[in-house]
Structure 1
Amino acid sequence: MIPTVVWGTGNVGRAAIRAVAAHPALALAAVVVRNPAKIGKDAGELAGLGRELKVTATDDADAVLAARPRAVVYAASGDIRPGDALADVLRAIRAGAVVVTPSLYALYDRRSAPPELREPVLAAIEEGGGSLFVSGVDPGWGNDVLPLFISGLGTTVDAVRCQEIFDYSTYDRPDAVRYLIGMGQPMEYEPLMLAPSVPTMVWGGQIRLMARALGAEVDEIRETVDRCPLDTRVSTRSMGGFEAGTQGAVRFEVQGIVGGEPRIVVEHITRIHPSCAPGWPSPPDGAGAHRVIIEGRPRIEVTVSATDEDENRSAGGNATAVGRLVNAVDWLADAGPGLYDALDVPLRPAAGRLGRRPQ
């Protein structure tokens, strides 16, 4: 069994605890939290399992790392604290741990990561003997292994499009929805997530990674952003009201330009209410889905919907993103120290988990 730490217990961390507890090769060794109200609580309670896992949450990350865990699932957010997230991950790598995380966007594609980020990671690996695999929470497999696999089913490929289509009223991060993305803000408000160059910073690595796998050269990366106001005031179950005239939907693309044309595209279409931007693509069930479209011959379209935490679609997306990371831990432990990306780490069958529940 591989002693594994889950660091952070938000949307991603809750799913990570469940995934580690269910994996036959992993043993939940510790849970690290920042919120004082969570200290001392059992991991099973924090994960919503309805039973105890006999592991209590702590805020003493130093003590947890001093015990030399074999693996760390770093689930704390890097959205507004990228420097802190990197520092935490480097500490875990220096402690010799296999680290998997969605929080360091620039490392989705290790080859194109900026030197000021890649070099400290490589130095920590050299020093401590740990390793690192970063995959997105939107989810990463929807922007790398799934489209690349599907592209191999075609005769010709003209373009690859990866879509996330969601109703954000189901997303359990109100501050991110209202301020990072700008839902409910005046239309003149400039959300950080939509600021020029930020989408490329977050998703550009996935564009370059797919291009590398497809043997294509990206000339440049372009961004497009479209925002739509609410026609009327709407009320949501989890985040309250959103006023008419404020931002109610966002559609943006990160485009990999190949031969002068957008050939590899990551697109997000998000709403706070289904009534906003009715002409834009919608998920088949009204809540959320991830879609891959291969334009070519034949044209191939695959839509994936996942549910978790009482049929919550956004939680289902988090859970599948976490599954990709947690299920890579044992492979990474065998592979040895290094910096890995989605083209290195295989997506494998759930061996030993058929019918298994968290222990």
Structure 2
Amino acid sequence: MIATVVWGTGNVGRAAIRAVDAHPALRLAAVIVHNPAKEGRDAGSLAGIDRELGVPATTDVAAVLAARPRAVVYAASGDVRPDEALDDICRALRAGAVVVTPALYPLYDHRNAPPEFRDPVLAAVAEGGGSLFSSGVDPGWGNDVLPLLLSGLGSTVDAIRCQEIFDYSTYEQEESVRYLVGMGRPMEYTPPMLIETVPTMVWGGQVRMMARALGVELDDIRETLERRPLEKTVTTRTMGTFEEGTQGAIRFEVQGIVGGEPRIVIEHVTRIHPDCAPDWPVPPDGSGAHRVVIEGRPRIEVTVEAGDEGENRSAGGNATAVGRLVGAIDWLAEAGPGLYDALDVPLRPAVGRLGRSQG
């Protein structure tokens, strides 16, 4: 079995522990935490599994990597600490590990990644013999393998639209929601995630990958943005109060332009409460969904809803993103050292996992 480490126990890390435990080819070897209060706690408890896994969490990164684990699921955030995340991942690669992570957006499309991200990774791969697969935002498959699969079901394709439609009131990551995305902030505040060119940095790689798979040349990548204020003060279960007049909803697109028209589009429609921007697209269950629309003949529309961790509705998207990454580990271990993207790594059936309850 492949000795696998989960590094981080937040929204993504909890799902990663469960996914590794459920995978018949993997063995959970260690769990790395940053918070000393979590040190020594059993991985099963941290992941919300109703049994102990016999793996106590540790803050000792050096000791874990010195044991030369075959794989690392890097689940720590890279949103506000990209340099630290890159350093961590390179440490794991130099230890010879297969690394899968959603943390480094520029490396989703590694062929076009900035040198400051790509070069250290290539050097670490050459030194240690590890490999890296980065994917996962929104939740990875929704902006690459699923739309490409669906495009092959039609006779003609005029445009591809990938949507994330989400109510953040169920989310449990306040720093990202308030600071990065700007919910509850004054309308004159410019959230880091919405600064011009940042959406393209995060999602442009997926637009380029889809264009590459479809055999088309992009004229350009463009961005659009709309914001709406809250019309009344609302209180959320997980993050407290958001005041009337502050930002309550955002809608933006990252558009791949082909022949002067937006043909490959990744769109986000995000609210802090269902009452804000009710005229914008809404998810079927009111909480969250991922949707792919293939405009052409025939027109194809597929909406995916995933639930996990009870009322934390964001957890379903996290869990499917993690499932894609963890499910790739054994393939990557066989494929050998290198830098991989979503077009390289096949999406495979859940062999050996049918009926494996974690209750």
Deviations 1:146-189 (A, max 9, x none): 00000000111111100000000111101110111011111101
CA contact (8 A) 1:289 1:313 kept: no
**Deviates most, 313-322 or 113-122:** 113-122
Aligned residue number for residue 119 of structure 1? 119
Deviations 1:182-225 (A, max 9, x none): 11111101101101111011011001001000001111111111
CA contact (8 A) 1:137 1:322 kept: no
Measured in 1, the distance between the counterparts of 2:91 and 2:237 equals 39
CA contact (8 A) 1:104 1:134 kept: yes
Instruction: Report 1:60-79 matches (<5 A).
Output: 60-79=60-79
Aligned residue number for residue 153 of structure 1? 153
Instruction: For residue 120 of structure 1, report the CA deviation from its aligned partner.
Output: 1.6
The percentage of counterpart residues that share the same residue type is 78
Measured in 2, the distance between the counterparts of 1:253 and 1:281 equals 13
Give the letter for the 1:91 counterpart: R
TM-score by length of 1: 0.99
Measured in 2, the distance between the counterparts of 1:236 and 1:311 equals 12
User: Could you say what secondary structure the match of 1:28 adopts?
Assistant: strand
CA contact (8 A) 1:93 1:131 kept: yes
Deviations 1:15-62 (A, max 9, x none): 000000000000000000101111111100110112211001111111
CA contact (8 A) 1:100 1:132 kept: yes
Aligned residue number for residue 221 of structure 1? 221
Point out where structure 1 has 5 or more consecutive residues left out of the alignment: none
Instruction: For residue 358 of structure 1, report the CA deviation from its aligned partner.
Output: 4.3
**Deviates most, 339-348 or 306-315:** 306-315
Give the letter for the 2:122 counterpart: L
Q: Show structure 1 runs of 4+ deviating over 2 A.
A: none
Give the letter for the 1:100 counterpart: V
Measured in 2, the distance between the counterparts of 1:106 and 1:88 equals 16
Give the letter for the 2:322 counterpart: V
CA contact (8 A) 1:137 1:317 kept: no
Point out where structure 2 has 5 or more consecutive residues left out of the alignment: none
Measured in 2, the distance between the counterparts of 1:178 and 1:258 equals 35
Instruction: For residue 118 of structure 1, report the CA deviation from its aligned partner.
Output: 1.3
Give the letter for the 1:197 counterpart: T
Aligned residue number for residue 180 of structure 1? 180
Instruction: For residue 312 of structure 1, report the CA deviation from its aligned partner.
Output: 3.2
Give the letter for the 2:181 counterpart: I
Measured in 1, the distance between the counterparts of 2:137 and 2:19 equals 15
Aligned residue number for residue 231 of structure 2? 231
CA contact (8 A) 2:170 2:311 kept: no
Measured in 2, the distance between the counterparts of 1:137 and 1:16 equals 15
User: Could you say what secondary structure the match of 1:111 adopts?
Assistant: helix
CA contact (8 A) 2:144 2:206 kept: yes
TM-score by length of 2: 0.99
**Number of aligned residues:** 359
Instruction: Report 1:8-47 matches (<5 A).
Output: 8-47=8-47
Give the letter for the 1:48 counterpart: G
Measured in 1, the distance between the counterparts of 2:66 and 2:60 equals 10
Are 1:307 and 2:300 an aligned pair?
A: no
Deviations 1:285-331 (A, max 9, x none): 10000000001111110000000001532100000000000000000
Are 1:344 and 2:341 an aligned pair?
A: no
Measured in 2, the distance between the counterparts of 1:336 and 1:357 equals 31
Instruction: For residue 110 of structure 1, report the CA deviation from its aligned partner.
Output: 1.8
Aligned residue number for residue 192 of structure 2? 192
Q: What RMSD, in angstroms, separates the aligned Cα atoms of the two structures?
A: 1.0
Measured in 2, the distance between the counterparts of 1:242 and 1:106 equals 31
Aligned residue number for residue 256 of structure 1? 256
Measured in 2, the distance between the counterparts of 1:243 and 1:85 equals 33
